Structure 1
Amino acid sequence: MYPKLWDDRHSVVVPDSNIFYIIALLRFIPPPPKGPPTDKLVSQNNAIIQLCYNRGFNFKLYLPHYLSQENWMRHFGDKWTRFVQRKQNFDPMAILAPGQKIFSRNQLK
């Protein structure tokens, strides 16, 4: 449990509660060839995430790597509009953080 220590000036996304829980999946396995192939582990992780979506759990991924803007919108939830406005104000050419693929450079013009 962690107390909610941030306010609306930050872009970090946490549940709308004073207390929330962090649950981490940490895998300790031997590397291939003794351990399972990496793609199998990634597939298992994705199945766990999909189960959470299907059950309607309110959760956030730490350091997510979403492949669509729709998933980023779901991640930010009701803070998405504020996030877009800040991006337009402070990084209108979408130079910062291109690896997350949240915005294209042409999108914010």
Structure 2
Amino acid sequence: MSLEQLLIEKLQTLNPTHLEVVNESAGHGGYFPGKESHFKVIIVSEAFAGLRLVQRHQKIYAEAKDLLSPGKIHALAIHAYLPSEWQGQAPASPECAHAPKA
């Protein structure tokens, strides 16, 4: 199973009403086809009720902890919302300074 699929499976424990996991590895240095190292997570869940932003991130890191190790996920951008906060889209990711040049 791919890292992307494993991450999706682990985050399902938070009962999201919306979940997107985007493999952004191609925008980073050292990319080769099939590489899975950089991901963006957009998650909307009531599990974040009463939590500050850092606590929401900690909750996600706790679910994904065995995927965040050398040779697996190198970087994880997190956008965690309550359903009442979700506006339908998350901010775009910044360009990587080491991204392959076209």
Shared fold per TM-score greater than 0.5:
no
Instruction: Pick the structure with more strand per residue.
Output: 2
Instruction: Pick the structure with more helix per residue.
Output: 1
User: Given the two structures, how large is their TM-score scaled by the length of structure 1?
Assistant: 0.28
User: Given the two structures, how large is their TM-score scaled by the length of structure 2?
Assistant: 0.29
